[in-house]
Amino acid sequence: MKKTILFALIIMMVMPLAGLFAEGQKDSDAVVIGANIYSFQDGFMNAVMKPTLESYAAERGAEIQIVDSEGQQAILNNQVDIFITKGVDVLAINLVDPASAQAIIDKAKKADIPLVLFNKEAPTEVRNSVMASYDKVWYVGTDSAESGIIQGQMMVADWKARPEYDKNGDGKVQYVMLKGEPGHPDAEARTRESVKAFTDAGIGVEQLALEADPNWSVQHGADKMAAWLTSSFAKDIELVICNNDNMAFGAITAMKAAGVRLPIYSVDALEQALTHISEGELDGTVLNDGVNQAKATIDLAINAAMGKDVVEGTSWKLTSDGSKAVRVAYVGVTPANYMDFQ
C-alpha cells in the first residue's frame, strides 16, 4: 500500500517535467528571438514566412516576437534598438532597404547579439566587408539568380514548343516585365536572368515596358497590366514576365477583364498560383521555399543564441564561398508538375 502511494507521488512529480520536455520548454530558459517582417502587406512574407517562423519557433521551444516594419527602414532601425534594450537573445531581421544592412549589423555587433538576416540579402560590398567583420551574423535566403534562371528556362522551352507565342513572327520576344522592388537582389537578379535565358538560347528580345513596385503587390500588377492593354503597343505584347506571384495575380485579373490571354510566368508558387495554373491562367511559377527559409532562420537563430555552431544538429549547410549563408533551392512549377506542390 505504502509503495503504491509512493509510486503515485513520484509519477505526479515527474509528469509535469516530462510534459515540459516533450513540448519543448516554454520557460525562462527559452531562447527569445526578436524578429520583423519588412511589411505585413507583402503577400509571400505574410502567407508563408510569418506563419512558419511562428509555428516552427514554438515547435523548437523558442519564443519569437515578430514586428511589422511597415516598409520603412527607419521603423526597423528603431525596432532593433527596442529589441536590444529588451535583451532578446538573437535577432532575425528581414531588411527593408538592403543598402542599410550595415546599420543593422553595426547595432547587433555593438550589443554583441547574434543576427540572422533573412529573405533580403545585403549588397555584395556589405557582405564582403561588414558581414565578414562580425562573426555572429549570417544570412538565410536563396540564390536570387537561380529563380530567374529557372523561370527563363521554362519560358524558353515553351517559346520553342509553341510557335504561336511569336505573334508577329519576327523570331523575337516582345515582352513586358513586372519587376518588383528596385534594388532587391531577387528583383534585380530575376529581371536580368529571365531575359538572359532567351538571349543565351539565341532568341532575340524586345522590352516593351517595365514597371517596378517596392511592395510587389497585386494592385500594382493589375494597374500596370490594365494600362499596357490599352496602350499603343497592346497588340504587340507576346509575353508577361512577373517577378512574383502577387503581381501576376493582378495581371491575370486585368487580362480577364480585357478578354485577353497572354503567356504569363511568375515566382513564389503560392497556393493561388497553383490554382491559376490548374485553371490554365498561369503558365508557370518557381517555388520560393519560404517554409524552409523560415525553418532555417529559426534553427540558425537558436543555435547562435546558444553559442553553438549555427548549423549544428540541423540539415542546413552554409555555402562554401565563405558568405555565411544558407541558400534554399528554388524549384520550377509548370502545368505538368504543379500537383506535386498542392
Residues that bind ligand GAL (CB under 6 A): 38, 42, 44-45, 119-120, 184, 186, 216, 244, 267-268, 288
Residue 331 CB, nearest distance to ligand GAL (Å)?
13
**H/E run at residue 129:** none
* Choices 121-129, 170-178, 187-195, 263-271 (CB under 5 A): range interacting with Ca ion: 170-178
DSSP symbols for 278-315: HTTS--BEEE--HHHHHHHHHHHHHHHHTTS-TTTTSS
CA dist., res. 194 & res. 36, Å (int): 30
With CB under 5 to 8 Å by kind, the binding choice for 267 among Ca ion, ligand GAL, none is ligand GAL
- Given strand 204-212, what is the order of strands in its sheet? 204-212, 172-180, 239-242, 264-265
Residue number, 51 or 204, with CB nearest to Ca ion: 204
Residue 59 CB, nearest distance to ligand GAL (Å)?
23
* Choices 39-47, 115-123, 149-157, 161-169 (CB under 5 A): range interacting with Ca ion: 161-169
Residue 306: other Cβ atoms inside 10 A: 13
Residue 170 CB, nearest distance to ligand GAL (Å)?
32
With CB under 5 to 8 Å by kind, the binding choice for 166 among ligand GAL, Ca ion, none is Ca ion
| Cβ 333 vs Cβ 284: under 8 Å | yes
Residue 127 CB, nearest distance to ligand GAL (Å)?
17
CA dist., res. 251 & res. 223, Å (int): 8
Pick left, alpha or beta for residue 213 (phi over 0 → left; psi -120 to 50 → alpha; otherwise beta): beta
Determine which residue in the list 166, 211, 223, 281 makes contact with Ca ion, applying CB under 5 A. 166
With CB under 5 to 8 Å by kind, the binding choice for 44 among ligand GAL, Ca ion, none is ligand GAL
Tell the residue number behind the cell numbers 516530462, with chain if given: 18
With CB under 5 to 8 Å by kind, the binding choice for 170 among Ca ion, ligand GAL, none is Ca ion
Report the interface residues with Ca ion, using CB under 5 A: 166, 168, 170, 172, 174
